[in-house]
Structure 1
Amino acid sequence: MTASGDPVPLSPQQEWIWESMRFMNPDDAAMTRTNVCLAFTLRGPLDTGRLERALADVRRRHEALRTSLSDLGTAPHTHVQDAEDSHPPLLALVDLSGVPPEDQDTYCELMAGAEEHRLFDYVRGPLWRATLVRRSPTEHVLVLSAAHLLLDAPSVQLVVRHLAEAYEGIAPPARQEQYRDFVRRAARPPSDADRRLDHWRRVLSPLPAPLDVRTDYPAAPPPVFLRETTPFRAEADPEALAGLRGRTGVTPYLIHVAAYVAALADLCGARRVVVGSTLTRLELKPDPHAVGHFADLVLLPIEVRPEHTFGELLERVRDTALDAYDNQLPYLRIADAIDPDFTARRPWPARALYHVWVRGSVLNADLGPPERIGDAEVRPFEFTRETCYPIELDGDRYAHVYGQNVVPTLYAGPTGLEGEMTYNRAVFTPSGAQRYVDRHCQNLEHMLKDPQTRIGEVWHDSGR
């Protein structure tokens, strides 16, 4: 492999991912499956040879797609392969046209799950893979998976958008911002870094104590994390949601955060819940079309009081999020500064600095996946969730990386009404996890129907 330029250290965002991989698998970090995988249905005529040539053009455009690691030690650097070097085939083709449609669905879901947990060779590369499943002459499923160290989910969507442009013969810009440009900027601390650290010392003091979570099976901690996912949708008027957003200035994501924090405060008896999520510091990424891993972990410590209304809670969540964004620093630097055990216990801290993970939709109409690739219509692949590839991880280590492994995590859908709850079936029965789903949806409905409802009244109604 011919290297293009000097080796580049990991960005703070990549270092966070690498630290978690080392902690999850101390003997061989590269054996940790931390990938991002997206699948799309393509309906219409498609030229597979043209699609593969377009993939090669996108690979040439972005250094991130030609990146691998120098080694698998504690502080690896990245190497970029020369754009014109030879490479393995970029598009794997699978023909299911002779398989019954109902079996095609199952196969596509299992294959996407397997791609999400594929082991990549971090030294030799490539650290991404595209698979095209042919269901019929006019219907295909495109699966794109990448090591999370390499790309975040919005970047995977951008790769698909740039693939559509290359398929149409649209030339990329003469000067494409590369990930190494972001790494150089991210390595320089902001001029007010000390002030930002003081903010985090203040809002995270005392350090988050574990939540008192009621589980269906003993959890002290469970030996494994077995992922199960339950979709939900609140019974509420979309117009009420639009009105609430207009009055409070909160996003659908923050509405979900407020509702779930109130649910955890009720179910766990907590008055302070720290939410973990991700954001991209836009001042470090001036080119919205650059791809790589830009997302950093952000902490949202939120106070919940029964005498407050849902409207007041929404304002608190909004203000907390704005403060977090204004004072954002790399997560590892925040943790080093406020937790004296953090550095000593690397490759990961003695405990996570947040209680629960809440992620939002990464769909972006301007920078997300395209509407078409050539004459083929592009739509997200619909999963039934009945055949998803299972995850089995060391539960104790999973808890340190992703928060408490007994607290169900939340995916907040883009409209503010729907989403998914992910829980550990080693400690929850489906009905036990449903308590969290029901309480979250109940809070969403109360919040939209009457934001002046006092939170404690809902707790009383729910039997607390």
Structure 2
Amino acid sequence: EVPLNSAGKLDRKALPAPDFGTMSEEDYTGPEGDDETAVARVFADVLGLDRVSVTTSFFDLGGNSLSAMRLAARTGEVLGATVSVRDLFDAPTVRELVTAVAGAGEALAPITQADPRPDHIPVSFAQQRMWFMNQFDPDAPTYNIQAGAKLTGDLDTDALRQAVLDVVERHEVLRTTFPGVDGDPTQVIHDLEWAAEHLDWAIVDSEAGLMEAATRGFVVAEQSAFRVRLLRSQQGEWIFLAVLHHIVSDGESMGPLLTDIVTAYAARAQGHTPAFAPLPVQFADYAIWQHEVLGDPQDQDSVVGRQLEYWEDQLMGLPDVLELPADRPRPVTASAKGASIDFTVPRALGERIEQLAAEYGLTSFMVVHAALAVLLSRLTAADDIAIATPIAGRGDRVLDPMVGMFVNTLVLRSELEPMMAFSELLEEVRETDLDAFANADVPFEAVVDAVGAVRSQAFAPLAQVMLSVDHNPAAGAGAQQPVDVGSLTVEQIEPPTAFAQRDLSITVRTVAGRDWPAGMVYATDLFNEATMVTFAQRFLTLLDSLTDDPDGAIGAAQFLVAQEHSSLVDWSSGQSTAPVPGDGGGVPGVAHSGDRANGNDGVSDN
């Protein structure tokens, strides 16, 4: 029996939740031949499964846009062929993918140690923009990244300092400076003696000391872009804070960084030297590989040169800035001061997003992206919407354990009409996102130059709103469980402050069978907290409305939050005054930043 609603359409709300239990032998089809065996192993490794059936879709097994890019790169590596994300969407099973890419072009050369290295080691594509931004204003903390941990128990501070130095020795990028040579940034890697002498390490006596470290910039041409602070918050409890400039680190680097520090401390506390597994390559090797294999964006015959043509066609003529309704005029120079709020995508809504994604051959990211584009269009009355999204840039397995700046930024452009159905927008977003992922090697800075985007100190170029949708199957179920190291317990905590690199950055983490934690970092130059709370509720309301009726017009989707709808009905009947604009107080599922002091910690910035 298929449940129907009053209009005779499928009633999605009445459908039972799918049961993705343990795969039975009847559901499992084993690989045949060396290629299927190798690709099945890659599928299982990327998805964190023991095995996969070669006839089951990658996306039915929990795959998403981020893991799809990783899978495409690693499948290409084992098959020795060029494999794109679009190939995976068109052929999402092991068997289909092996057949689809048979005879495809050769894969890119693997990332290996550069021997010998050039006299002037270039920076990576992603580092170039960080370098130019730092030259412009080295004191700005806008691109500081933080990792914090609470240490409970007996701490040996000398062992911890030595452990930090062990990690600096392990990752060359943490002892690298970036001077310019003839106007171009280069990497200068220093020895351990230099690193020990210049390590920015201090034990502070107040939270102000942590804040000072977090909010002070780096002169990356001369200084190590890494500093550490330690605060004894109370007897038997310490706060550890690592601050890095984005030129040497990204969000995915925080895991390897903290893991290596904990590993090194465990050894040093026992009087031993840590026995790390050797890194296959260093970050400098990766940067050299990019320039040698991917080439120069100005060379039309290079990999990135060919990809740049796509971005010129896709983004040419994009409006310079999307002006969201703000509480204050945009300043001439953005301060980068930010604040954050947390909100929750209810489990039922998250499951409906996943069901809709499966129905249309999408990912959850694409559904959320389309809904956010509708929201921005409704808020601004604009029909040309650009949303930025970060991509990890870590497709190759050898990059997984490394600290470094691998992330790139893609700009996803959507043209909307109020009468178009949400299902129609989903199809267009699917094509836009897949094309963007297929041309993701071009550095963001090269795209900005190629399309002639306005550069301003007041707003980010090309897109002022960023969206990140991450898959985190363990979130809420021990994703950041404390780790015991001898008599010390280490627990990851939220960093002390947020910086607004754009007007608004939204993060959603999908979690199987649970509510989805989400958060926003916003520019306090422009917005008040109450405005952002209302923004979050509008987003949830619109997501609910659009996914409930994907065949409905996007311009007719429910947009008002509950209080506004009730107040508007009263106002239109003469029973009440007009609703108060931007009044987000008491919105269910949305935590004010002040709630953090009460222990309601949630997702922070990317």
Is 1:444 aligned to residue 547 of structure 2?
A: no
Q: Distance in 1 between matches of 2:155 and 2:134?
A: 38
Instruction: Give the secondary structure class of the aligned counterpart of 2:232.
Output: strand
**Alpha-carbon contact 1:35-1:148 (below 8 Å) kept:** yes
Q: Distance in 2 between matches of 1:437 and 1:338?
A: 32
Q: Distance in 1 between matches of 2:280 and 2:473?
A: 20
Comparing 81-90 with 198-207, greater Cα deviation is found at: 81-90
Match of 1:186 among 290, 308, 311: 290
Q: Distance in 1 between matches of 2:345 and 2:381?
A: 23
Q: Distance in 1 between matches of 2:216 and 2:465?
A: 26
Match of 2:306 among 195, 210, 213: 195
Displacement, 1:317? 3.3
**Alpha-carbon contact 2:140-2:216 (below 8 Å) kept:** no
After TM superposition, the structure 1 = structure 2 runs for residues 251-400 of structure 1, keeping only pairs within 5 Å, are 251-283=363-395, 286-328=398-440, 329-339=442-452, 352-360=461-469, 372=483, 374-375=485-486, 376-382=488-494
Q: Which has the higher relative contact order, 1 or 2, with Cα contacts under 8 A spaced 6 or more apart?
A: 1
Q: What residue in structure 2 maps to residue 177 of structure 1? A: 281
**Alpha-carbon contact 2:147-2:242 (below 8 Å) kept:** yes
**Alpha-carbon contact 1:128-1:145 (below 8 Å) kept:** yes
Displacement, 1:432? 3.4
Match of 1:79 among 177, 183, 188: 188
Answer with 1 or 2: which has the greater Rg: 2
Q: Distance in 1 between matches of 2:221 and 2:126?
A: 19
Is 1:48 aligned to residue 157 of structure 2?
A: yes
Instruction: Give the secondary structure class of the aligned counterpart of 2:321.
Output: coil
Comparing 437-446 with 86-95, greater Cα deviation is found at: 86-95
Question: Residue by residue, what CA displacement relative to the aligned partner does 1:130-187 show, whole Å, maximum 9, x if unpaired?
Answer: 2233345553322111111121121133111112222344522335411111111121
Query: CA 1:425–1:116 in 2, change beyond 3 Å: closer, same or farther?
Result: same
Question: Residue by residue, what CA displacement relative to the aligned partner does 1:392-415 show, whole Å, maximum 9, x if unpaired?
Answer: xxxxxx9xxx55x4xx33233454
Listed as ranges, the gaps of 5+ residues in structure 1 are 96-106, 392-397
Paired letter, 1:171: A
Is 1:139 aligned to residue 237 of structure 2?
A: yes
Query: CA 1:32–1:71 in 2, change beyond 3 Å: closer, same or farther?
Result: farther
Match of 2:262 among 135, 152, 164: 164
After TM superposition, the structure 1 = structure 2 runs for residues 10-25 of structure 1, keeping only pairs within 5 Å, are 10-22=123-135
Q: Percent identity?
A: 23
Q: Distance in 2 between matches of 1:178 and 1:64?
A: 8
Q: What residue in structure 1 maps to residue 138 of structure 2? A: 30
Query: CA 1:311–1:134 in 2, change beyond 3 Å: closer, same or farther?
Result: farther
Is 1:125 aligned to residue 226 of structure 2?
A: no
Q: What residue in structure 2 maps to residue 102 of structure 1? A: none
**Alpha-carbon contact 1:253-1:414 (below 8 Å) kept:** no
**Alpha-carbon contact 1:52-1:90 (below 8 Å) kept:** no
Q: Distance in 2 between matches of 1:351 and 1:389?
A: 20
Q: What residue in structure 1 maps to residue 112 of structure 2? A: none
**Alpha-carbon contact 1:65-1:127 (below 8 Å) kept:** yes
Paired letter, 1:439: R
How many residues align structurally? 423
- RMSD of aligned Cα (Å): 3.8
Match of 1:233 among 341, 344, 354: 344
Q: What residue in structure 1 maps to residue 167 of structure 2? A: 58
**Alpha-carbon contact 1:271-1:303 (below 8 Å) kept:** yes
Paired letter, 1:62: H
Q: What residue in structure 2 maps to residue 418 of structure 1? A: 517
Query: CA 1:418–1:251 in 2, change beyond 3 Å: closer, same or farther?
Result: farther
Q: Distance in 2 between matches of 1:350 and 1:142?
A: 33
Q: Distance in 1 between matches of 2:439 and 2:251?
A: 23
TM-score, normalised to structure 1's length? 0.77
Query: CA 1:137–1:426 in 2, change beyond 3 Å: closer, same or farther?
Result: closer
